[in-house]
Structure 1
Amino acid sequence: MRGLAEYIMRGRKQATLVVAIAAAIPLLFWVSAAALALVILRRGLNEALPVLIWGVLPALAWAVMGDLTPLLVILGAAGMAVLLREKQAWSTVLLVVVPLGLAYALLLMSVLGEPLQALAVQIQERLPELMADMGGSVDEAGMVRLEALLVPILAGLMGAVHALMALVSLMSGRSWQAGLYNPGGFRAEFHRLRLSPLVAGGLLVLTLFSPQFGQMAMLAPIASLPLLIAGLALLHGLAGIKKLGSVWLVILYVVFVFAAQIVYPLIMFLAFIDSLFDFRARIAPAQGPRDDDDSNGQV
């Protein structure tokens, strides 16, 4: 991707070409969002505004045809890139993921209400079978309650997935920027990423207890995202400190894919515990005082 990043940074014309074409091609909207994030991070919103406009036009065409994903991801990545350039703090960006994901969820629920209801009906029909497969049982009242939560949870999942795609696009753009102008910079930032105890605790409470309050259930998957990213940053950071190599991280992600229902909560709880004890600071070898602020804008 270095060659693409170099081409984007040659000038506004090249950046506009990449952002617009990638936004127009199915499944390449994330490249458009990442390229736009790169321009914003390096040159600022004023310089990137014409590029943003040309990138949004194909995304608007997709939205008119019924696919909101390119538009939401491009705008979300652009907004978070502006915030990251201003605040220089990934922890602040992670907090913004929650209201962004909630906005996505509400919008998608209003636009895709009928498909969501149809999907919820299909899941309702299979709920007893699914519960039996998991070795659990739910009484009739509990089943009614689960069915009532399906639509908000599905909307929350969709909002969380869109917010995650926007965040990953931003991270890709930042990684490209670091590769061109500050090799290893993004890796160091990600390895230091950590939430404060108050924020991590609040997110954990939202994740665990929002399903108890009806429509607020949509917050559960969205609030879990910052904890997931912070937990992954912890594991990457520990692997870097111990010089374990990329093989261990590949194994981690393979296990995550095949056992997400177990690994996802574990990573979330690790992020919360790390917010209290800062494992990387305890394990890292002693270093002299740093001139820069190592807090990475922890909030």
Structure 2
Amino acid sequence: MLGIANYSMKGPMQAIIAVVLFSALSVFLAPFGILVGAIIALVTLRISVTEGFKTLIWGVVSNVALTILISGNYFPAMISIIEYMLPIWLLAVVLRQTNSLALALQLAMVITGLSVVLFHMAVPNPVDWWVALFNQYVAPLFEASQIPFDAKLIPNLAEMVTMLIAIFMIILWFSILIIARWWQSELYNPGQFKIDFYQISLPKSTAYTAIVLAILGLVSGAEAGLVYDLSGIIIAGLMFQGIAIAHHTVATKELNKAWLVGLYILLFLFPQAMLILATIGLVDTWVDFRNRWENEEL
């Protein structure tokens, strides 16, 4: 992956070639979109906002053109642009201007939060909307493939769809930005990425928002659809702060890196572990674990 970054940084034309190639490949294999977003972010961070935007445009044009050529429909390309192009460029602009991963993460949370609010305004009952989509598109596929499913569980699962998509987008966007920042560090300033990542600390406003949403959730109960979805966004953001604390702790205490491997395995097998990391991130807003560990080492 670092070789891709190195090639992209040889000049604006190389970056455009790389983005066009991977953007075209992402039409067939979506994971290639991660490289598209990372290259756009790297160009923005290393060269300029303008050059990053030019790279973005080339990625958009190549993806849209090939998608329409193959399927005759531009909608999948719009999903791709939202998934790993335009938001990544915006996050990279903020990171370039502020040199703060935390503020870039906060922007991802704000964009996602506004999107969730607009979705709830446009769709009065999101659960029924997701169930209708399932019955129209997914259920017939299951039935044709003779895959058994419990129709009674679908409404319960539909309650989580909006929140899960919001969490996925934050994790995807910020992870792509992290890849770009790591590339930048490895190529031009070795060791800087570790320092930047260790310092991730969301503003106190995020913690206060989390508390308010928790209280509203308790008061509203089952009717708190919007509150429930927004809570997922806060959890995803604070999770990254918890991960930064974990990495900093392992480095400061000189612990075995197997602790981090175990942490990521736990997150993969039990996504509920996000809540534990988010809680650590929330408490850190006032406790400041990293500063405490550093003072103990002195």
Fold-level similarity (TM above 0.5): yes
Corresponding position of 2:169: 162
- 1:6 equivalent to 2:2? Answer no
- 1:30 equivalent to 2:41? Answer no
- 1:71 equivalent to 2:99? Answer no
Contact 2:103/2:202 (8 A) holds in 1: no
Cα drift, residue 225 of structure 1 = 1.5
Corresponding position of 2:92: 81
Corresponding position of 1:217: 228
Q: Which amino acid aligns with 2:241?
A: A
Corresponding position of 1:250: 261
Aligned length: 266
Instruction: Provide the aligned C-alpha RMSD in A.
Output: 2.9
CA change 1:102–1:152 in 2 (3 A) is farther
Contact 1:108/1:159 (8 A) holds in 2: no
Cα drift, residue 120 of structure 1 = 6.7
Q: Separation in 2 of the partners of 1:37 and 1:105?
A: 24
Cα drift, residue 119 of structure 1 = 6.3
Corresponding position of 2:130: 116
- 1:18 equivalent to 2:18? Answer yes
Q: Separation in 2 of the partners of 1:268 and 1:208?
A: 17
Cα drift, residue 236 of structure 1 = 0.8
Unaligned runs of 5+ in 2: 68-72, 136-148
Corresponding position of 2:143: none
TM-score (norm 1): 0.78
Corresponding position of 1:51: 55
Unaligned runs of 5+ in 1: 128-146, 289-299
Match of 2:153 among 126, 132, 137: 126
Cα drift, residue 170 of structure 1 = 0.8
TM-score (norm 2): 0.78
Q: Which amino acid aligns with 2:58?
A: W
Give the SS at the match of 1:163.
Answer: helix
Contact 1:204/1:272 (8 A) holds in 2: no
Cα drift, residue 107 of structure 1 = 7.5
- Of structures 1 and 2, the one with the larger relative CO (CA 8 A, separation 6+) is 1
CA change 1:159–1:265 in 2 (3 A) is closer
Q: Which amino acid aligns with 2:111?
A: L
Q: Which amino acid aligns with 1:11?
A: G
Give the SS at the match of 1:66.
Answer: helix
**Deviation readout 1:174-221 (Å, 9 max, x if unpaired):** 110000111111111111212344422323443674583333432121
Contact 1:105/1:160 (8 A) holds in 2: no
Cα drift, residue 100 of structure 1 = 1.6
Give the SS at the match of 1:260.
Answer: coil
Contact 1:175/1:186 (8 A) holds in 2: yes
